[in-house]
Structure 1
């Protein structure tokens, strides 16, 4: 099925698929209007007191040159300090980035001939080339490092090559299989380019985790004296159950993205659900079969100095003894640390993505920023889309004249004002500049003025006209509004269903509430760290980014969903071991000690793998990917240390038997056995044999 799905190709989301609100309607009208394909546009900026000769040289150099379709008349900035020479490239605009290098070189030669002035190029093709080259380089590095890094960490954790290779191998095959299935799913939910990168990130994380949990439990049971069949049965009934509960919880969290009704988030939801479901399926079917076939050979090719018969977790057990001896103090300290880390979240602001989010030190990016400052109408124009029975003739011309007058009088809309009309003469696109930088409140206020008064008043007089304002700034505003409207639904769905899953799985209201609250604390701390680093601009030189005064607008919601899902990974696994001890009659504090102590090693290994893979995303050139990498890595690190090793055992120790409270009216909930099944062919194992001691 995966092969057949992959053969049909992946359907990608169009610009109109990704639009929202008024800007989305404008995009759909333009897409259906049959406009000719617009050629890739480039701009050459010339700045300096004596720039006339350089302007003439640029025009002469580009006119008639191979790859150049036409050179427009030079434009002079309102302050008179800059000149812009726009030109268009010939050929398919989609491939223009592959043909722009000779033109960049030609402009660089002009700069060399005129050292007294600035001569620099930026535009559609050069920007696409910059982003494409930077991303290709970064993603190549990511793909080359993520698997070896994961394998290296697992080699240290297991000390045996075969045991280390299995999780990585199954995680990679899960990602490959899910990508194949994505092609079929894209017929119903078109995908976006970033989806496969997110699938790789999530697939490696959960795939390695699930296999790690299963293999470690089977290994422990073998070392405790169980025969191969008995060890696999115990692993299937304990870690196997934890895997499907965890996987279901992660899938529920990812499904929350559907409530955004956004093409990008919907694509992310479909991709991550497929990769998690595939990883769960592989861990519960292929992995047990491989372990059954391998037997004790799972520990084959031992690494001297790393292979250990037992992972006694001395460090974590030492910490646990302190935490359980002073649970109240431990709770206060842990909550205090998390609160301090989360505090900057109160100042969280969001922003749209811009060219400055890509390699801010790049000459093309710096040129684009300078063009935007000198000629704002050329880089961040708004587009007024007018659809009518006809947009040709005196009525439309009169409306356009009124629009020009009103735009000039507003003080917020800038010339030049350009008009494009489709071949049928039924749709006109009127481009007008905005004050501000395109993403600040000044530009947003200009869009409000354009939408609320200038555009409808002018073009509303055209008979049968439909008027919609689009463009990058308007699109970002509509996207933010869509996210704001969907937030209560997403949070309510994810938190509510996660609570229900924990309630059914562990038959405890308190455990379910505790799980949700602890996960929210780790997400809040991650938000605070993102604000501290990316909004306040700390570590700019180290991470190679330039702060835009906010967090990328889609990041908070996306991080909440991903982090909440991945945090449940650890939580379900740890709680299962604690509940296992409790079901055998151990006091809660002893069950907590043995449950966390026995899982400390595998949790540490899984967390280190996740942190390492997520940290690699911080090396990619886009600020958004850096935010994603830092946010995920920091949250997982906090979750595996402060949350799971300190706060969870401290809170459960304080609550004691109240942890397992279930109202009588909920006794109808199904009982899920958490202890291993009794042995059939051998003497029943003792608690000491089945749960590694601290």
Structure 2
């Protein structure tokens, strides 16, 4: 590496410049949120509604709020509204328009809404949303807002772009200040930042080509790439630069670089492998959003590891002793590697190890108390709630909830394909029998379909006059052999009783009908089922791979097991805090959280996988130093103190940088990224403070030499020494 340092740097610069041309375009290609449970009954039902009933999954709601309290439901008001909206009908992207027929709440007549079905795919609708928005006139006497799924996704895309800029504006300067405080010189502080920013830019450029080939990649992916890329990229570089500066104290530049790559480089590889394993596990859940986040995360971690192990050594080889140049005068004093800092950690660790039983009990009480709220976690699938109320689509949706019955807005839709035309007497008989069986189910408020119009002794022809048939088809209620049956539940769409009702509906197999249960409640149930079905694989895979990675690194039976258990504790505590904020609303005003009541279902899984991987960074750094000292002395207690003294500053600095970068997402607009940022930030803080600096030394003291026990048939002592991971 030292010999070809200039060639390596030139190659990376070329790669960076080339991919930077595409990196900034990537977010504009990502139009899907990635939550669609492909192949599920709800998605198949949507396809039936689109193909056979002429409905569209791309739509907007024009929500009008009277400025002076005028009644917008009168005939005169409705005629005026439709007159002013008439120009919209002629637009090529409009398939159909109609006034919402959902039941209104009593006395709420100052708000009305018009549904516009778009003659576009969801992706096309998002690309043309600015044009669509501009075509909607401002209805006189009202404040006019655009809501609906297309508007929500458009605002979400806007929030994603803003969040990335927000995170970079706040996270990068804070990370630089922390690096300056750690290293005290400008070149040493800038090197990790260069690696982090380069990793993010290159990964975003690579993602551009993935997005061209696969349009299902989630629009949350750029946030994940930015968050993880800056965090792990800077952290990995921090480990390398710290070791290089240490080696330079007694060696030439080339020797220092070789030793750094052999020791810290191996630690970075193991850490990257651990994060990779956690992110790969996300593929166990069959939803595009998890595949997308896994893809983006794995790519940026891979690029970060490659940059830390190739580009950074080349830069360090070029700088040599000049890495100590340009000292920051305001930060004169002992560096992170100074004796005073080590003595501080040493005194704290001595205090903990002097009372290991008391320490373990106190820490367990704190962590278990923090975990308790997670036991009552309520999972949900938000839509417009992912955005703050200041966004137009969220505000318009809240207005609709104010005036319409929410359970009717989000009713259960059953797309049914009949054996005969919908107006055939046999079809009507079968549909009525099916509706009757649905009404008998518990927690059903009302069941409606076109067959509801055929009452008493009227024949089908008498009830379904040409005018009525035209109205039925124009409302996309029935057409040909396809119909839709609406089931209004007694409770909200995410209520457990509604979820149970959907499962009971799916058990009914009516004669002469092929049914697909869809609608917002069923769609969200299918998402939840995909997550819960894949969860055992994710947990098992992460546990096993984490254990095996640490087992391979340190040749110990108990150390990996202890690490897994401690990760569970810090993870559980962080999830407990997320539940307190997002479900119960504690601190919601401070964190600017506008939606409480449940936790987004993907968060626990995502936080679990990422936290387990990132925690291994600190685990590998810490245990490497402890094991090296134990090999020299054979004294478990002294080795633990020495190892934690040597790594305390590095781990603290790395954690502070990660908190700065990830924590910046807590105060962004996207409520999903807020929760991820809060979960990761609290997990890292708990892991580095309570777990690593208190629980680890206490347990190391209690277990003694058993920490290093290894069955003879697995490895001989001399073999253990040869395969040992060198210290970073």
TM-score (norm 2): 0.81
Counterparts of 1:185 and 1:38, CA distance in 2: 24
Establish whether residue 98 from structure 1 lines up as the match of residue 149 from structure 2: no
Q: Contact 1:592/1:649 (CA < 8 Å) preserved in 2?
A: yes
Correspondence for 1:461: 512
Give the 3-state SS of the residue equivalent to 2:173 in structure 1. helix
One of 169, 175, 179 as aligned partner of 1:150: 175
Task: Give the number of equivalent residue pairs.
Answer: 664
Correspondence for 1:371: 400
Runs of 4+ in 1 over 6 A off after TM superposition: 4-16, 31-34, 46-50, 102-105, 416-424, 674-677
Establish whether residue 382 from structure 1 lines up as the match of residue 401 from structure 2: no
- Alpha-carbon distance change, 127 to 185 in structure 1, aligned in 2, over 3 angstroms: closer
- Please say which of residues 376-385 and 315-324 is displaced more in the overlay: 376-385
Establish whether residue 610 from structure 1 lines up as the match of residue 610 from structure 2: no
Counterparts of 2:419 and 2:721, CA distance in 1: 66
Shift of 1:30: 5.5
Correspondence for 1:173: 198
Give the 3-state SS of the residue equivalent to 2:633 in structure 1. coil
Q: Contact 2:267/2:725 (CA < 8 Å) preserved in 1?
A: no
Q: Which runs of 5 or more residues in structure 1 are unaligned?
A: 113-118, 678-689
Question: What's the CA shift string for 1:242-266, capped at 9, x where partnerless?
Answer: 1111111111111111211222112
Establish whether residue 306 from structure 1 lines up as the match of residue 323 from structure 2: no
Map 1:369-518; keep pairs closer than 5 Å.
Answer: 369-372=398-401, 374-376=404-406, 379-387=409-417, 391-394=421-424, 395-402=426-433, 411-413=444-446, 425=480, 427-453=482-508, 456-457=509-510, 460-462=511-513, 466-518=514-566
- Alpha-carbon distance change, 589 to 67 in structure 1, aligned in 2, over 3 angstroms: farther
Q: Contact 1:578/1:592 (CA < 8 Å) preserved in 2?
A: yes
Counterparts of 2:57 and 2:556, CA distance in 1: 61
- Alpha-carbon distance change, 644 to 189 in structure 1, aligned in 2, over 3 angstroms: farther
Correspondence for 2:163: 138
Counterparts of 1:53 and 1:492, CA distance in 2: 56
One of 574, 577, 585 as aligned partner of 1:526: 574
Correspondence for 2:312: 287
Map 1:90-239; keep pairs closer than 5 Å.
Answer: 93-94=125-126, 97-99=129-131, 106-107=138-139, 109-111=140-142, 122-124=147-149, 126-128=151-153, 130-183=155-208, 187=213, 190-223=216-249, 225-239=250-264
Shift of 1:605: 1.1
Give the 3-state SS of the residue equivalent to 1:72 in structure 2. strand
Q: Contact 2:58/2:149 (CA < 8 Å) preserved in 1?
A: no
- Alpha-carbon distance change, 31 to 505 in structure 1, aligned in 2, over 3 angstroms: farther
Correspondence for 2:297: 272
Q: Contact 2:53/2:483 (CA < 8 Å) preserved in 1?
A: no
Correspondence for 1:40: 59
Correspondence for 1:687: none
- Please say which of residues 319-328 and 665-674 is displaced more in the overlay: 665-674
Counterparts of 1:468 and 1:403, CA distance in 2: 13
Correspondence for 2:93: none
Give the 3-state SS of the residue equivalent to 1:19 in structure 2. coil
Question: What's the CA shift string for 1:500-541, capped at 9, x where partnerless?
Answer: 111111011011111111111110111111122221110121
Q: Contact 1:15/1:27 (CA < 8 Å) preserved in 2?
A: no
Q: Contact 1:42/1:122 (CA < 8 Å) preserved in 2?
A: yes
Question: What's the CA shift string for 1:591-649, capped at 9, x where partnerless?
Answer: 11111111111111111111111111111223322211111111111111111111111
Counterparts of 1:67 and 1:434, CA distance in 2: 37
Shift of 1:554: 1.2
Q: Contact 2:126/2:154 (CA < 8 Å) preserved in 1?
A: no
Give the 3-state SS of the residue equivalent to 1:63 in structure 2. helix
RMSD: 3.7
Correspondence for 1:22: 41
- Alpha-carbon distance change, 152 to 422 in structure 1, aligned in 2, over 3 angstroms: farther
Question: What's the CA shift string for 1:381-424, capped at 9, x where partnerless?
Answer: 33322346765551445444555666667643455877776999
Counterparts of 1:516 and 1:317, CA distance in 2: 25
Correspondence for 1:549: 597
- Please say which of residues 301-310 and 415-424 is displaced more in the overlay: 415-424
Counterparts of 1:34 and 1:79, CA distance in 2: 29
Counterparts of 1:74 and 1:279, CA distance in 2: 51
Q: Contact 1:619/1:626 (CA < 8 Å) preserved in 2?
A: yes
Correspondence for 2:462: none
Q: Contact 1:390/1:426 (CA < 8 Å) preserved in 2?
A: yes
Counterparts of 1:624 and 1:345, CA distance in 2: 17
- Alpha-carbon distance change, 375 to 340 in structure 1, aligned in 2, over 3 angstroms: closer
Give the 3-state SS of the residue equivalent to 1:584 in structure 2. helix
Correspondence for 2:355: 326
Correspondence for 2:88: 68
- Alpha-carbon distance change, 393 to 103 in structure 1, aligned in 2, over 3 angstroms: same
Correspondence for 1:86: 114
Q: Contact 2:553/2:725 (CA < 8 Å) preserved in 1?
A: no
Shift of 1:304: 0.7
Counterparts of 1:72 and 1:451, CA distance in 2: 30
- Alpha-carbon distance change, 615 to 513 in structure 1, aligned in 2, over 3 angstroms: same
One of 638, 642, 654 as aligned partner of 2:686: 638
Give the 3-state SS of the residue equivalent to 1:384 in structure 2. strand
Question: What's the CA shift string for 1:61-113, capped at 9, x where partnerless?
Answer: 45244762276357483554334342427786435642566688834x5148x
Q: Contact 1:377/1:432 (CA < 8 Å) preserved in 2?
A: no
Shift of 1:432: 4.9
Counterparts of 2:176 and 2:53, CA distance in 1: 51
Correspondence for 2:11: none
Counterparts of 1:653 and 1:198, CA distance in 2: 38
Correspondence for 2:12: none
Correspondence for 1:572: 620
Q: Contact 1:377/1:415 (CA < 8 Å) preserved in 2?
A: no
Q: Contact 2:415/2:517 (CA < 8 Å) preserved in 1?
A: yes
One of 637, 640, 651 as aligned partner of 1:589: 637
- Alpha-carbon distance change, 121 to 57 in structure 1, aligned in 2, over 3 angstroms: farther
Q: Which runs of 5 or more residues in structure 2 are unaligned?
A: 1-14, 90-95, 451-471
- Please say which of residues 602-611 and 547-556 is displaced more in the overlay: 547-556
- Please say which of residues 142-151 and 354-363 is displaced more in the overlay: 354-363
Shift of 1:216: 0.3
- Alpha-carbon distance change, 77 to 528 in structure 1, aligned in 2, over 3 angstroms: same
